[in-house]
Amino acid sequence: MVILVDEIEKGLATIQKKIESLEELESKGKTLAEKVRTSDADLLKRMGTTAKPVVKKIGLNLLKKGKQDTKGELYHPQYYPGKMIILGKTDPAPCRPDNPAMEVVDQFCVLNEDGEFFELMYSFDGFLTDSYLNPITPREAIDRYGYDVMFMLYQALRDYLKGEEDLVNALEKAIAFVFGNKK
């Protein structure tokens, strides 16, 4: 009976140590999570800088303005000169900062090929689709669009690099085949 009680006490002591260890880990995890949250804008800024060459390759030329015919088709479109990638979408602001009379119908967070963040705000007056490119800080991007912008930028970087690795591996195999080298 004494041996059984000793075993139970040892087991209880082990469980108690694990619980204390778990509480320490949770506390440390909360501290580290808070540290990450206070540095999230800096991280997003560095990610944007890192992504510059990727945006130049995979980015799109986004519509600056265009006229719509009666069928809803665009004609005489004008595009922003540099490429951009779209990182997020939010509920549109009531009006554009450059012209309070213009209602915003669509609003996106974008990263340009210079590593700068913007809000791309589209307006439509029934005939003309027009936009305003509003510069924002990484902090504003996170506050307005959430962590989706960081996740989407990470995905773009990861997918681009994976695509490049796949291409290099495929070329390596093709060259080895052409020259008769076997690996």
Q: pLDDT of 23-43, one tens digit each?
A: 777 777 677 667 666 788 988
Domain residue spans of the chain: 40-178
Instruction: Please compute the mean of the pLDDT values over residues 123-152 and round it to a whole number.
Output: 93
pLDDT(60) > 60: yes
Instruction: Please compute the mean of the pLDDT values over residues 101-107 and round it to a whole number.
Output: 95
- Per the CB < 8 A criterion, the answer to whether 104 and 94 are in contact is yes
What per-residue confidence (pLDDT) applies to 19?
A: 77
pLDDT(180) > 70: no
Q: Which has more pLDDT, 137 or 177?
A: 137
Q: What is the pTM of this model?
A: 0.74
C-alpha to C-alpha distances, 123 to 8, 18, 75, 111, nearest whole angstrom: 71, 58, 16, 20
- Per the CB < 8 A criterion, the answer to whether 44 and 142 are in contact is yes
What per-residue confidence (pLDDT) applies to 118?
A: 98
What per-residue confidence (pLDDT) applies to 178?
A: 67
Percentage of the residues of the chain whose pLDDT score is greater than 90? 48
Highest mean pLDDT among 11-20, 62-71, 113-122, 160-169: 113-122
